[in-house]
Amino acid sequence: MVFEKVTRAVFDELLANDGSARFRRELARYDLGSDPPARDDCAVLRGPLAASDFVDVPAFNTLVMGDLTVDGLVDLGNAGAFDEGGMFVVLGNVACTVFSTGFAKGTFIDGNLEADSLILNAFDDSALVVMGNLRTYFFYGRDIWAEVGGKAEMHYGDGYCLPIGYTSAGAEAIEPLHDRATSLRRLNLDNTDYIEPHRFLDLISSGRPVFK
C-alpha cells in the first residue's frame, strides 16, 4: 500500500471521524495548527503497514489508518523541506525495534506502542500520547515524558511516563525498572551527562550497537 497526499481538510476530517473516542478527546487537547505551507502537507495510508524500515515520514502531517509493524527503525524526524513540527498519527498498534519521535512533533497512537530496543522521546516541544500500553527495553525521554492510557513498561531509561489525565506529575510518574545511573551505564556512549537524541540515531545509522 502507498501513502496518498490529501488536503488538510480531508486529513482533519479523517481525524475527526476515525479512531476511538478517547483518541479524539486527547487529540483535541493539543494545538496542532502550523503556518502554511507546512500545515497543508498531509499524507494518509488507508490501512496497515508492515515494513523492514520506516525511515522518513512522507509528509509534515502523516496518518496511518491501521497497525504499523516495522522490523527496524521508525524515525519521525521530518526530511526535506520542513525542519520540525507536524503530526504523526497511527490508528492502531505500533510494533518496531526503535521508535524515534522528532522536534515539535505531535505523535498519537490509538493502540499500543512496543519498541523492542529503544524509544527516543527527548525532542523539544514534542508530545507522545499512547492510548494503550507502552513497552520498551530503554526509554530516553529526558525532560519530555510520554502519556499513556494503559501500562508503561520500561526496563531501563532516562525519563518517565505519565498516565493520561494525570493530576500530579510527581506522584503519578511511571519510572523505568532500573534507575537512571544503572540505565546510562548500559549505553555505548562515552559522555552520558546529557545526550542529544540524535547521538542514538547516529549509532544506529552507522551500524554500531546502542547498548554495551
Question: Cell numbers of 25, please?
Answer: 478527546
At which residue does the C-alpha cell 537524541 appear? 197
Mean pLDDT of 119-136: 96
Burial 178-188 (b: 16+ CB within 10 A, else e): bebeebbebbe
DSSP letter assigned to residue 79:
P
What pLDDT, on the 0 to 100 scale, is given for residue 79? 61
Is the pLDDT score of 81 beyond 60?
no
Predicted confidence at residue 145, as pLDDT, reads 96
Give the separation between CA 55 and CA 75, rounded to whole angstroms.
5
Q: In this predicted model, which residue has the larger pLDDT, 34 or 74?
A: 74
Give the model's confidence band at 84: pLDDT under 50 very low, under 70 low, under 90 confident, else very high. confident
43-72 average pLDDT score = 91
- Give the model's confidence band at 75: pLDDT under 50 very low, under 70 low, under 90 confident, else very high: very high
pLDDT band at 85, cuts 50/70/90? confident
- Of 84-88, 100-104, 156-160, the least confident: 84-88
**82 compared with 154, residue with greater pLDDT:** 154
pLDDT per position as a tens digit, 178-211: 999 999 999 999 899 889 999 999 999 999 999 9
Q: Do 84 and 106 contact (CB within 8 A), yes or no?
A: no
Closest CA relative to residue 93, chosen from 117, 124, 69: 69
Q: What pLDDT does 109 receive?
A: 98
* pLDDT for position 121: 96
The rounded distance, in Å, linking the Cα atoms of 89 and 109 is: 6
Q: How confident is the model at residue 36 (pLDDT cuts 50, 70, 90)?
A: low
- For residue 57, what pLDDT is reported? 84
Q: What is the model's pLDDT at position 2?
A: 85
Three-state SS at 27: helix
d(C-alpha 113, C-alpha 94), whole Å? 5
Lowest mean pLDDT among 102-106, 114-118, 145-149: 102-106
Q: Which residue has the higher pLDDT, 29 or 133?
A: 133
